[in-house]
Amino acid sequence: MRKKYNTIILISFLLLAVFFTACGNDENVKTNTPIKVKVKKIIKVEVPFQYEYPGNVEGVRRAKLSTKLMGTLIYFPFEAGTKITKGQILAKIKSAGLDAKRGQVNANILQAKAAFNNIKINYERIKRLYALESASKKELEDTELAYKMAKERLKAAEEMKKEISDILSYSIIKAPFNGYIVNKFIEQGDITSPGRPIMTVESFNKFKVNAQVSADEINLFNRGGEVKVYIDAVSPEPFIGIVKEINPGGNSYSKQFGVQILLNKKGVANSKIMSGMYARVVLENKTKPIIAINKNSLVKRGQLEGVYTVSTRNEALLRWVRLGKTIGNKVEILSGLSAGEVVITDKNKVKDGQKIEVVK
């Protein structure tokens, strides 16, 4: 009886082994059998788009004032923010070396004038004597040569005085236009040097906005074209701007191009716009080519979002993507996919790495 019982147990174990082996084979068959799926090719589509660029407000007229002299800044009593008028003296510079040279040049001119006047008198006398045949031709020629040389020396001394006067004109700095001092770089009593900026002055009767635009979007701007400019610190309503300049030379590092926009005078004069304010330059009624897919094709894993694509081995491949704006039932793909690739639309049928068969 016990032997019969052991035989039954053995048979039962054999049957279970066969059952699990069969199940395993079925699972293997399932895994190795490609799942039929549908795919959609990714293409770029033109969608309505509003372009926006950061900008900085400045006065239309802006100048950085400096001098060609090395000297002491003896007069500069103004602070940043001071209102100025055209022609107003803003700064004075004293150069001891140039003052001494001017004195020397003046002395040279006096000497040259005295010598010239003496030689001129003698030259006129010799000419009269020569006419009366009381002086030789050699005397006339020598006196004439001395006269010409004295005249040239006087001319050279006067030219030197003019040159010194031109240089000394840089010792007085005047306002080039009505406006304000917006920056001071040195103080009264400091030493100036050629090319070193002393101050920046700016006129605020008109304003412009300097914006930076990427290389692939610079052609959206046309000189003379209208754009909207938002200055949030002043008003929620936009100002109208006219594109004045487009810099054809971009920054080799940032790949950005400068665009200068003149703000329409209407509504600006009575506003509270100030130089240095942040502005947003907006281009409306434009389109942009983007990669967009149906939102139903997205696969979510926690904070990550992706799509199933087809690998080179005909397997489902989960690719993580970065999303942009939502447009209706579609969503923009910023990175992770390229035009020409395909996305599996039957996302619920597959798993990452599963064999697939694409059907139409």
The share of the chain scoring above pLDDT 70, in percent, equals: 88
Q: Which residue has the tokens 């009366």?
A: 132
Position 19 pLDDT exceeds 60: no
Tokens found for residue 52? 């926006």
Q: Check residue 292 and give its pLDDT.
A: 87
Between residues 93 and 105, the one the model is more confident about: 93
Q: Check residue 26 and give its pLDDT.
A: 40
What is the chain's mean pLDDT, rounded? 83
Position 5 pLDDT exceeds 70: no
Between residues 254 and 323, the one the model is more confident about: 323
Q: Check residue 21 and give its pLDDT.
A: 44
- In this prediction, residue 101 has a pLDDT band, given cuts at 50, 70 and 90, of confident
Q: Check residue 87 and give its pLDDT.
A: 92
Give the CATH class of 53-59+205-286.
mainly beta
Residues with Cβ within 8 Å of 185's Cβ and at least 6 positions away in sequence, in order, are 196, 197, 198, 199, 200
Between residues 98 and 23, the one the model is more confident about: 98
Give the rounded distance of the alpha carbon of 255 from its chain centre: 9
Q: Check residue 8 and give its pLDDT.
A: 52
Number of residues in the chain: 360
pLDDT in tens, 176-210: 999 999 999 999 999 988 889 999 999 888 899 99
How many beta carbons lie within 10 A of that of residue 28, not counting itself? 10
Mean pLDDT of the 274-289 span: 88
Position 252 pLDDT exceeds 60: yes
Q: Check residue 230 and give its pLDDT.
A: 93
Sign of torsion over alpha carbons 24, 26, 27, 28:
positive
Position 270 pLDDT exceeds 80: no
- In this prediction, residue 284 has a pLDDT band, given cuts at 50, 70 and 90, of confident
- In this prediction, residue 12 has a pLDDT band, given cuts at 50, 70 and 90, of low
Position 24 pLDDT exceeds 60: no
Q: Check residue 267 and give its pLDDT.
A: 64
Q: Check residue 227 and give its pLDDT.
A: 93
Secondary structure (H, E, C), the chain: CHHHHHHHHHHHHHHHHHHHHHHHHHHHHHHHCCEEECEEECCEEEEEEEEEEEEEEEEEEEEEEECCCCEEEEECCCCCCCEECCCCEEEEEECHHHHHHHHHHHHHHHHHHHHHHHHHHHHHHHHHHHHCCCCCHHHHHHHHHHHHHHHHHHHHHHHHHHHHHHHHHHHEEECCCCEEEEEECCCCCCEECCCCEEEEEEEEEEEEEEEEEECCCHHHCCCCCEEEEECCCCCCCCEEEEEEEECCCCCCCCCEEEEEEEECCCCCCCCCCCCCCEEEEEEEEEEEEEEEEEHHHCEEECCEEEEEEECCCCEEEEEECEEEEEECCEEEEEECCCCCCEEECCHHHCCCCCEEEECC
Q: Check residue 178 and give its pLDDT.
A: 92
Mean pLDDT of the 248-273 span: 82
- In this prediction, residue 32 has a pLDDT band, given cuts at 50, 70 and 90, of low
Q: Check residue 198 and give its pLDDT.
A: 94
- CA–CA gap between residue 287 and residue 285 (Å, rounded): 7
Mean pLDDT of the 134-149 span: 84
Q: Check residue 269 and give its pLDDT.
A: 62
**Domain residue limits, the chain:** 53-59+205-286, 68-174
Q: Check residue 27 and give its pLDDT.
A: 41
The share of the chain scoring above pLDDT 90, in percent, equals: 28
